[in-house]
Chain A
Amino acid sequence: MTPRRVVRRIAASALIAVVLAFFAVPMLWLAGAPFDARPGLGLRWPDWTLANVRATLAHPYALTSLANSVLLCLVACAVTTSSAALAAYALSRVRLPGRDALLYLLLLLSSVVTGTAAMVPIFVLMLQLGLIDSRLGTALVLAGGLLPAAIFILKDFVDAVPRSYEESARVFGASAGQVLGHVVLPVARPGIAMVLVWSFVNAWGNFLLPFLLLRDVGRQPAAVLLRTLQDEGGSVNLAVIPVFSLLYSIPVVVLYVLVDKRYGFRFHGGIKS
């Protein structure tokens, strides 16, 4: 190796080390603070204890809010994935009139109309429908926001399924329902799993919509409660926040590890257009 290459290798390694530290250091708080006898907003070696865990479990809304999060996410995920799968299949396989315009519109909608930009009308809409404080209503709003992108992700997967699979099944006499159930659904399963996980992570972490639409603390999900803990009774609840943050993060971390193991985090074509 020439000296220049050595220098370059060292520079690259140093850069990677800095990046590693940049991404790792903020996460250390989540490992230490929950089990520290004197938890704070700062990094230090903890005096190990489980007192915070007990305090958190005793908090009146901690577990309720996690249950609310689960409910919101399950409904939003189920609605998003099932309706996106049906729509993606129809868009991929049947040349409906106006399909290209619809796809173009969906592409624009998925990036242009965001929850933040539409928060006022969404709030007013739910207010007038009497759906403020309705968890089901909030889940549907979440699903509506996730749908355009979910349709695109799934359409990519369905487009990649060879048509000969379905045609083959039809020549054997399978009905449209059998074709979908026996062939299309199993073959598209990685795509469906991906959209399920993607929509779950999105819905689980969404703060704005439940913050806007769920005012009753008994119906709020973990995202909103975590924020409320910051100024509950005028002061930061430092015993509960770290443990609760950890509990709240576990599902997405577990899902993330599962997906990474099973499929790997990769884009599957199509992202370019």
Chain B
Amino acid sequence: MRAADRDAAGLGPVRAFGFLAPALVLIGVFLVFPALWTLYIGITDYQLTGPAAVQPQVVGAENFRTALADPLFGNSVRLTALYALCSAVIGQNVLGFALAWLLRPVRPGLRRAVEGLVLLAWVLPGPVVAYLWFAVLSRDGGTLGLLLDRPATAWLVEYPMASLVVFNIWRGTAFSLLLYTSALAAVPPSQVETARLLGANGWQTVRDAVFPHIRGHVLTNTLLISLWTANDFTPFLLTAGGPNHESEVLPVLIYRQALESGQLGYASAISLLLLVGNLLVALVYLRLLRRRA
């Protein structure tokens, strides 16, 4: 009680509320209000152009029924789940942890080089990264084609989802690496050493001495990276959903419905379903975290 919650600077509740106000206004206008508004727009036939743009009509659950019956929506949900599962939950998580674990005994120079590259892939702007991967995956002289001696393969067309998954692992592993590096640094060395003294091998050590300490980190990491991946718009830059909807994840579907087809109401209904999905994942995670505690 004493250490926390002490108004140490003598701010007082009125000034404290004043401090909070700008942030709350911005979050309220640009985050909370839009999130709630999807609810309303989602039950209208609001369109970008035409008569329904001026005078949208409430159509009730019509948009949701359409979406649930729409094979393109089902396709997007499936692709989004696949994308999040393969590239984030498995790909980034495993590679991030493996790197964090393997880099511990490596000499500092090499370690910094690996970490530096992984982090650079993370901080480069999305549109630039898209071009980097065009260069890897392109059909004329792309790096992957040269390496595999299949120079004329259009990887983004022939294997769009696999390309996106590999791309996203490249792009996002940095976060898992950072998080697991700091988590591993907090594992008491004596416990790892005790496991070693008792004759545990590498895998047993990780499972019995390390994992119990970082379970919370694994949960947090998995939640964040899977939400980010499911809401990632970069696939639009690489494949724009094509060919023939084969890589049309939900964010791309929403964009194309809203701004290419102008179906704002329908796109909003899909957005709302995505928001609800996000919320469910987050709530499940918070329950898991609480059960652990």
A–B interface present (Cβ within 8 A) = yes
Task: Report if B85 contacts A (CB, 8 A).
Answer: no
Assuming the A-B contacts A114-B278, A144-B27, are A30 and B20 also in contact, with contact meaning beta carbons closer than 8 angstroms in the complex? no
Q: Of A28, A119, A163, which contacts B6 at CB under 8 A? A: A163
| Nearest A residue (CB) for B249 | A116
Interface size class of A (residues with CB under 8 A): 35 or more
Complex Cα–Cα for A163 and B282 (A): 33
Contact B268 A121 (CB under 8 A): yes
Task: Report if A156 contacts B (CB, 8 A).
Answer: no
Contact B275 A117 (CB under 8 A): yes
Task: Report if B254 contacts A (CB, 8 A).
Answer: yes
Task: Report if A37 contacts B (CB, 8 A).
Answer: no
Q: Of B19, B26, B133, B228, which contacts A26 at CB under 8 A? A: B133
Assuming the A-B contacts A25-B136, A120-B264, are A96 and B20 also in contact, with contact meaning beta carbons closer than 8 angstroms in the complex? yes
Contact B271 A118 (CB under 8 A): yes
| Nearest B residue (CB) for A228 | B127
Complex Cα–Cα for A111 and B29 (A): 17
Contact B275 A112 (CB under 8 A): yes
Contact B227 A114 (CB under 8 A): yes
Number of interface residues of B (CB under 8 A): 102
> Min CB distance, A33 to chain B, in Å?
7
A24 / chain B contacts, CB cutoff of 8 Å? 117
A180 / chain B contacts, CB cutoff of 8 Å? 9
A208 / chain B contacts, CB cutoff of 8 Å? 233, 236, 251, 255
Q: Of A42, A120, A163, A206, which contacts B38 at CB under 8 A? A: A120
Complex Cα–Cα for A201 and B232 (A): 16
> Min CB distance, B84 to chain A, in Å?
13
Complex Cα–Cα for A79 and B7 (A): 25
* Interface SS of B by simple majority: helix
Contact B124 A249 (CB under 8 A): yes
| Nearest A residue (CB) for B15 | A176
Task: Report if B120 contacts A (CB, 8 A).
Answer: yes
Q: Of A12, A87, A226, which contacts B19 at CB under 8 A? A: A87
Contact A144 B26 (CB under 8 A): yes
B159 / chain A contacts, CB cutoff of 8 Å? none
Q: Of A8, A41, A201, which contacts B142 at CB under 8 A? A: A41
Contact B9 A113 (CB under 8 A): no
Task: Report if B197 contacts A (CB, 8 A).
Answer: no
> Min CB distance, B65 to chain A, in Å?
18
Complex Cα–Cα for A169 and B10 (A): 11
Q: Of B13, B26, B183, B278, which contacts A143 at CB under 8 A? A: B26
Complex Cα–Cα for A260 and B181 (A): 15
Interface segment out of the listed B70-78, B94-102, B204-212: B94-102
Contact A179 B10 (CB under 8 A): yes
Contact A124 B37 (CB under 8 A): yes
A35 / chain B contacts, CB cutoff of 8 Å? none
Task: Report if A58 contacts B (CB, 8 A).
Answer: no
Interface segment out of the listed A48-56, A188-196, A264-272: A264-272
27 CB-based A-B contacts, threshold 8 Å: A16-B99, A22-B170, A23-B117, A24-B117, A25-B143, A29-B132, A43-B143, A93-B5, A111-B282, A113-B31, A116-B233, A116-B255, A117-B231, A120-B268, A121-B38, A121-B271, A122-B30, A141-B30, A163-B8, A205-B124, A207-B126, A222-B125, A227-B237, A245-B131, A248-B125, A271-B220, A273-B220
B→A interface (CB under 8 Å) = 3, 5-13, 15-17, 19-20, 22-24, 26-27, 29-35, 37-38, 41, 46, 95, 98-99, 102-103, 106, 110, 113-121, 123-128, 130-136, 138, 140-143, 146, 170, 178-179, 181-183, 202, 216-217, 220, 223-224, 227-228, 231-234, 236-237, 250-251, 254-255, 258-259, 264, 267-268, 271, 274-275, 278-279, 282, 289
Given contacts A96-B17, A118-B31, 8 further A-B contacts (CB under 8 A): A15-B102, A16-B110, A40-B140, A87-B23, A94-B13, A118-B275, A267-B178, A272-B216
